[in-house]
């Protein structure tokens, strides 16, 4: 299963489970945020590799820009912060 799909499954689970949501939100802003996030996800049965999590925002933006005729000429700024968008979605 792809890491993006695992993130979506985790997001849906966190929206229904207050304890999981609080556990995920607690790692926001910590020193090793991405590593801690992956550890919490793994603890709950979600396979989200650290390298893939770190690359998700750039990959998402690159795909969006390629989908435009001729390619996009601008970047999406905050869209590179995929983990930040995840936190916003579960709050």
* % the chain with pLDDT above 90: 52
Confidence of residue 43 (pLDDT cuts 50, 70, 90): very high
pLDDT in tens, 4-34: 899 999 999 999 999 999 999 999 999 999 9
* 79 Cβ neighbours under 8 A, 6+ residues apart: 57, 60, 61, 64, 85
pLDDT above 80: residue 78: no
Greater confidence, 45 or 59? Answer: 45
Alpha carbon distances (Å) from 41 to 4, 20, 64: 13, 9, 26
Q: Residue 45 burial (CB < 10 Å; 0-12/13-18/19+)? A: exposed
Taking the C-alpha atoms of 3, 7, 12 and 13 in order, what is their torsion angle to the nearest 10 degrees? 90
């Amino acid at each position: 299963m792809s890491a993006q799909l695992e993130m979506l499954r985790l997001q849906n689970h966190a929206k229904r489970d207050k304890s999981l949501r609080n556990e995920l939100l607690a790692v926001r802003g910590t020193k090793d945020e991405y590593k801690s996030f992956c550890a919490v996800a793994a603890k709950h049965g979600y396979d989200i590799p650290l390298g893939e999590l770190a690359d998700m925002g750039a990959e998402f933006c690159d795909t969006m820009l390629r989908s435009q005729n001729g390619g996009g000429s601008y970047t999406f700024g905050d869209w590179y912060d995929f983990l930040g968008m995840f936190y916003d979605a579960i709050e």
